């Protein structure tokens, strides 16, 4: 299963959840939206 948020790529294969930061223009610096997306993804895992 693959899901995409603007700056966060989410992929779940079996029991493995991969979260990929995707903000190359800012060297993957965290934004408030990215932190929220990470927290939601981890809670839903």
Q: What is the pTM of this model?
A: 0.72
pLDDT tens for each residue of 28-43: 998 888 888 899 988 9
Per DSSP, the three-state class of 31 is: coil
pLDDT digits (tens, 9 = 90+) for 8-27: 888 989 999 999 998 899 99
Q: How confident is the model at residue 44, as a pLDDT?
A: 85
Alpha carbons 41 and 7: distance in angstroms, whole number: 13
Q: H helices of the chain, where? A: 32-44
pLDDT above 90 covers what percent of the chain? 27
Tokens, residue 20: 């990929």
């Amino acid at each position: 299963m693959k899901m995409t948020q603007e700056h966060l790529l989410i992929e779940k294969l079996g029991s493995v959840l991969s979260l990929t930061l995707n903000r190359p223009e800012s060297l993957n610096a965290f934004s408030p939206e990215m932190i929220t997306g990470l927290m939601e993804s981890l809670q839903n895992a």
